[in-house]
Amino acid sequence: MTRKQRQVLLRIIVSAVFLIAAVLIDKSGKLEILSSVFYLTAYFIIGYDIIMKAASSLRHRRFIDENFLMSIASVGAVVLGEFFEGVAVMLFYQVGELFQSCAVAKSRKSIAALMNIRPDKARVIINGEEQTVSPEKVAVDDVILVGPGEKIPLDGVVLSGEACIDASPLTGESVPVSVKEGSEVAAGCICTDSLIKIRVTKSFAQSSVSKILELVENSMASKSKSERFITKFARYYTPIVVIAAILLAAVPQLFISAGRMEWVRRALIFLVISCPCALVISVPLSFFGGIGSASRRGILVKGSNYLEALAKCDTVVFDKTGTLTKGSFTVTGVYPEKMDERILVAVCAAAEQHSNHPIAKTVVAASGDDYKRFRVSNLREVSGKGSIAVVEKWEVAVGNAALMEEVGVSCTVSNGADTVVHIAVNGEYEGYITVADTIKENAEKAVLSLKEAEIENIVMLTGDKQEVAERVASALHIEKAYHELLPADKVEILEGIISSSEGKVIFAGDGINDAPVLTRADVGIAMGALGSDAAIEAADVVIADDDINKIPLAIKIARKTCDIATQNIVFALGIKALFLLLGAFGATGMAGAVFADVGVAIIAILNSMRTLKYKN
């Protein structure tokens, strides 16, 4: 408990003691003045802050809120001589507020645990000496040391040493990962067993941990439709019930001369029942808990509106390379026309050396250092097709068949399922290199999980040729696969899918060249994209690691969250409608009113907290 929560609890206990003492004195039939003093003491101990808030709202002309309703109802009960009811209303209201505060604190723990990944120091080597500084002061290319049990303060590459890295604070993945010289490591992970030396590759502001913290801090800024409905509903609902209470107290007295105080009492009960706190508290708490539950599993949702959209999706569109497949290609064959095989690979690698595409990186890796002997100039990438460059004195075009067609070179078309990289030199076809990608081990399980979750349409988009697309789609039981697509084609096809879909459409990509499609989808999911600024900016949901199974998990968490929020809305409105009618007809007293307000709020809060306990 926080200090403030302990203070409220103490006030509740002291007020309850005075209330019990007042009731006991009342039953004795003696010392009525003392009992009244005890009642009033109990009331002011437990209710003075609510009255002060109501007075402040009045000064700022925002008087139609729950503090105003509780103050008017309880003060009215005291004025009418119903001391016990007046104190009980305020006492149980404060119990409900304390319960709400504890529930919110528990929900925040899942977020707070993630926020603890922020490193507070870095051991940097400056002029051969070790110094401890703030991570913000470490520059790119500085060398830092990380020992056993320490958080990695910045993204970098291991220079020396071998260690196991616990990435669970970032990704939710509990299995440690081994790193050695040349391995990339992310800020926020924990070095578990050995000392490693790291060269920093990104400033703290651009590091993985900073991106996660920014996402989490902003995750509640975008509200869901349910939350916006509750906000709008409360804006109109509260003034309406206040007017209804005034009419209930005044109108019957125009026609019935007897029992005037009874109608005032009913109006006060009506006000207590009408407090919308069960809705105002429980619905945002449901989404907060859902976002926290997802965050603990390495699923970072940018706002509750996206959580709601996830729950309503009926179509998932996958990019192939890097999402369904590993994106780590291997060269399976080199087929030169005239040029020596080794030179063909080196020339191809020289033209592709600055590309971030996985296929280009594979060819560069396959050439070893051979490509470095060539001077390269005028290098440019042709989006979705390949690269064109001047290698030594040769005009080199490297890419798919569409690029060959663009430069006016006829090429050999392979009928195999491997991806083909064609090479043209000085306008003549020089051969091709085949590379193959492998399907991720858990991709089939993820697709089957989506089908079990009643996702009606699963689609794959790829720039690869038809044979490759059909091979991957068949292995993963995906019915629809579009092939040989440029980035603009992917956007066009996605728009067609969205227009024909009854529910929401998810697009999941690895963040490389996927930003336009991620932005266009109802929900864009970036896979393992902590290193991609464009992907994090464009995506609505970021999966911190590369686990594709977290997509169906995110959908299930979202559905549970929205189901709980809907349950709270229906339950709270139903109970309040019933008790408002009972209160208007005098069929319930202050005890019923307290249940309809505080009791319903507590039940709704308990229900909301189930979002934190999601089990797959």
Active site residues: 319
185: number of Cβ within 10 Å? 23
* Cβ count within 10 A of residue 55: 14
Amino acid at 563: D
Distance between CA 284 and CA 221 in Å, rounded?
A: 11
Give me the amino acid identity at 85. Answer: E
Map 250-262 to HEC letters: HHHHHHCCCCHHH
Please give the backbone phi and psi of residue 279, each rounded to the nearest 5 degrees, phi first: -75, -50
- The whole-angstrom separation of Cα 549 and Cα 439 is 14
- Check if the beta carbon of residue 529 is closer than 8 Å to that of residue 170: no
Position of tokens 């040989």? 484
In this structure, which amino acid lies at residue 54? A
- Say how far apart CA 251 and CA 263 lie, in whole Å: 9
CA 116 to chain centre: 17
Four-point Cα dihedral 560, 538, 218, 556, nearest 10: 10
Q: Which of 55, 39, 70 is nearest to 601 (CA)?
A: 70
Query: What is the β-pairing status of strands 313-319 and 419-425?
Result: unpaired
d(CA 172, CA 298): 5
Residue 526 falls in which region: left (phi positive, over 0), alpha (psi -120 to 50) or beta:
beta
**CA atoms of 412 and 575, how far apart (whole Å):** 73
Q: How many alpha carbons fall within 13 Å on the CB side of residue 283?
A: 26
Say which residue the tokens 């503090």 belong to.
67
Is residue 174 within 8 Å of 545, Cβ to Cβ?
no
Q: Write out the H or E segment, with its range, that includes residue 507.
A: strand 504-509
How far is CA 225 from its chain centroid?
A: 16
Q: Which two tokens stand for residue 137?
A: 């002061």
In Å, what is the CA distance from 295 to each residue of 119, 219, 553?
18, 10, 12
- Closest by CA to 443, choosing from 549, 550, 330, 320, is 549
Q: Which residues of 121-151 are buried (b: 16+ CB within 10 A; e: fewer)?
A: ebbbeeeeeeeeeebeebeeebbbbbeeebb
Phi/psi for 428 (5° steps) reads -120, 145
Q: Judge whether 397 and 414 are in contact, CB under 8 Å.
A: no
